[in-house]
Amino acid sequence: MSSDADTVIRTFSELVDELPQRETGEYLVDSIQPGHVVRPESVDQLAEVIRGVRADRLAAVPWGGGTQMGVGNPPARYDVGIDLSAINDVLRYDADDMTMSVQAGCRLADLNQMLGEHRQVLPVDAALPERATIGGLTAVGSSGPRRLGYGPLRDLIIGMSVMSTDGVVTKGGGQVVKNVTGFDMMRLHHGALGSLGIIVSMNLKIIPKPQSERTVIALFDSLDDADQAAREVLQSQLGVTALVVTNPEATREATDSARSNWAISVRCEAPPSAVVRQAERVQEYVASNAQDVTTEDSTDASQERWNRIGKALEQRPAQEDVSIRLGSTASKLRATAGSVAHTLAGAEDVRLTLDYGSGLLYTRFPARAVNESEFQVVFDQLSGAGDHITVSTAPANLKQSIQDVFGATPAGFSALESLKETFDPDRILSPGRTIGKL
Ligand SMILES: Cc1cc2nc3c(=O)[nH]c(=O)nc-3n(C[C@H](O)[C@H](O)[C@H](O)COP(=O)(O)OP(=O)(O)OC[C@H]3O[C@@H](n4cnc5c(N)ncnc54)[C@H](O)[C@@H]3O)c2cc1C
């Protein structure tokens, strides 16, 4: 698509009645209900919507599967939700080249089902893959535990098309793996929560599907013992694809175990002939100091174990839980977890998941455990415990009690402000939601 001087721009209020609409009550962001939610059915219709929103100076928030809408500051304004789930074509799939081009509304589970027929996979996790969309995954820019084995989604993106607020689609990167053109543009939109443009399509690298997997689980009496085992496996040459440590509360949730222990879960993915030996080697590494060591000894059981571990990381209704993600490094995770446990010592049901592959600590606790002023104190203390912080879920009143859910304004923030000014001068895209409330 290109800019067309003859394009007649209709305001949103002029065209809204012609658009497919959704029930607005299902599209709350931080308890704010928009006036309209539209679900464009083509890229051209999306362009009309964006131009109309801009003409009326409204504020729009894009939606994919809606699984991570809790990430971000409360929007400064929110008039229109744009549901992108109908923009979901697979534009190109080249199994021999192991690349594909897909529209942003494609769901991860659907893509992986299609790729599975060719024994290929897009190796990223999502809390709810049957709902999570490629656009949403990119705009959030998170990673799951399998980042250890496969890297972040960012590294699988070889091209991207993004719609600006005048309805024009810009392309960066390309269709081939060896391509650096437009690389910076792709990095900009990864993690920007849709505040700089609407992701329309992506070109992605895919990989051969691992043929089988096993998961080794070892229980420990203390964080120190679990941490030591985790770091030994990490430093080994075993090539495991995910490694997390869970505190007793999170372990119980992931295993239904009545026992109360710290646990390490290690994922091995390889051809059948190699995976059993790999799991045995992991067992040998973690056995010293462990109270118990078991292996999920089928691919299905191993996958189910990681679905359960992932559930502890997924978003829950904001009224119920607070979720906070702290960035650290594998070598500092134990100390970071110790600080968090100290800060939250009075709270019940605190669940900690230490992702050694990403150097991230996920903390979850019931929202009822803190009022607004207590939350400010907790947030300040946790901010000091890690290198960076993100509140992924919290009731709106708790989010509003702190300066920024992404913590301190980063160095170089003025460059981000300039980008926002360039890409979205009228502040119509997710205003206030991203870092520094841009
Ligand atoms: C256990 C676990 C593992 C995970 N593993 C990974 C992983 O390996 N890799 C990874 O990348 N993520 C991972 N995630 C993060 C998460 O699953 C995804 O980011 C999430 O599913 C987002 O998809 P969605 O379609 O539901 O987005 P939504 O919740 O609908 O949207 C998320 C954000 O993106 C914006 N947005 C949505 N669509 C667009 C668009 N087309 N253009 C611009 N902005 C848009 C929205 O406004 C919103 O701010 C993981 C999460 C968990 C809990």
- Kindly state if the Cβ of 153 falls inside 6 Å of ligand 1: yes
Q: Please check the confidence at residue 193 and state whether its pLDDT lies above 90.
A: yes
Asked whether residue 80 is domain-assigned, the answer is no
Span 126-145, mean pLDDT? 91
- Kindly state if the Cβ of 142 falls inside 6 Å of ligand 1: yes
Query: Is the four-CA dihedral 295, 301, 303, 309 of positive or negative sign?
Result: negative
Distance 11 CA to ligand 1 centre (A): 30
Domain boundary among 288, 311, 334: 311
- Kindly state if the Cβ of 160 falls inside 6 Å of ligand 1: no
- Kindly state if the Cβ of 313 falls inside 6 Å of ligand 1: yes
- Quickly state the pLDDT bin for 186 (edges 50, 70, 90): confident
Asked whether residue 38 is domain-assigned, the answer is no
Pocket probe for ligand 1: among 32, 83, 137, 406, the residue whose CB has the most ligand atoms within 8 Å is: 137
Asked whether residue 13 is domain-assigned, the answer is no
Domain boundary among 263, 293, 311: 311
Question: Which residues 6+ apart lie within 8 Å of 311 measured at CB?
Answer: 127, 253, 254
Tens digit of each residue's pLDDT (9 = 90 or more) over 36-86 = 999 999 999 999 999 999 999 999 999 999 999 999 999 999 999 999 999
Name residue, tokens 């049901």.
349
Q: Where in the sequence is the domain holding 335, given as residue range(s)?
A: 321-400
Domain boundary among 252, 279, 311: 311
Asked whether residue 339 is domain-assigned, the answer is yes
Residues 105 and 191 in one domain: yes
Asked whether residue 419 is domain-assigned, the answer is no
Residues 110 and 189 in one domain: yes
The CATH number assigned to the domain holding 262 equals 3.30.70.2190
* Average pLDDT value over all residues in the chain: 91
pLDDT confidence of residue 419: 92
What spatial distance separates the first Cα and last Cα of the chain, rounded to whole Å? 28
Q: Whose CA is nearest to atom 20 of ligand 1?
A: 137
Q: 187 exposed, middle or buried (CB, 10 Å; 0-12, 13-18, 19+)?
A: middle
Residues 216 and 189 in one domain: no
Beta-strand ranges (E) seen in 221-327 are 242-246, 262-270, 292-296, 321-327
Residues 99 and 145 in one domain: yes
pLDDT confidence of residue 8: 81
Q: Whose CA is nearest to atom 10 of ligand 1?
A: 143
Domain count, the chain: 3
- Kindly state if the Cβ of 139 falls inside 6 Å of ligand 1: yes
Asked whether residue 224 is domain-assigned, the answer is yes
- Kindly state if the Cβ of 135 falls inside 6 Å of ligand 1: yes
Tens digit of each residue's pLDDT (9 = 90 or more) over 306-363 = 988 887 777 666 678 999 999 989 899 999 999 998 899 888 889 999 999 889 999 9
Residues 229 and 258 in one domain: yes
Task: List the structure tokens of 198.
Answer: 């609407």
Residue type, 40: P
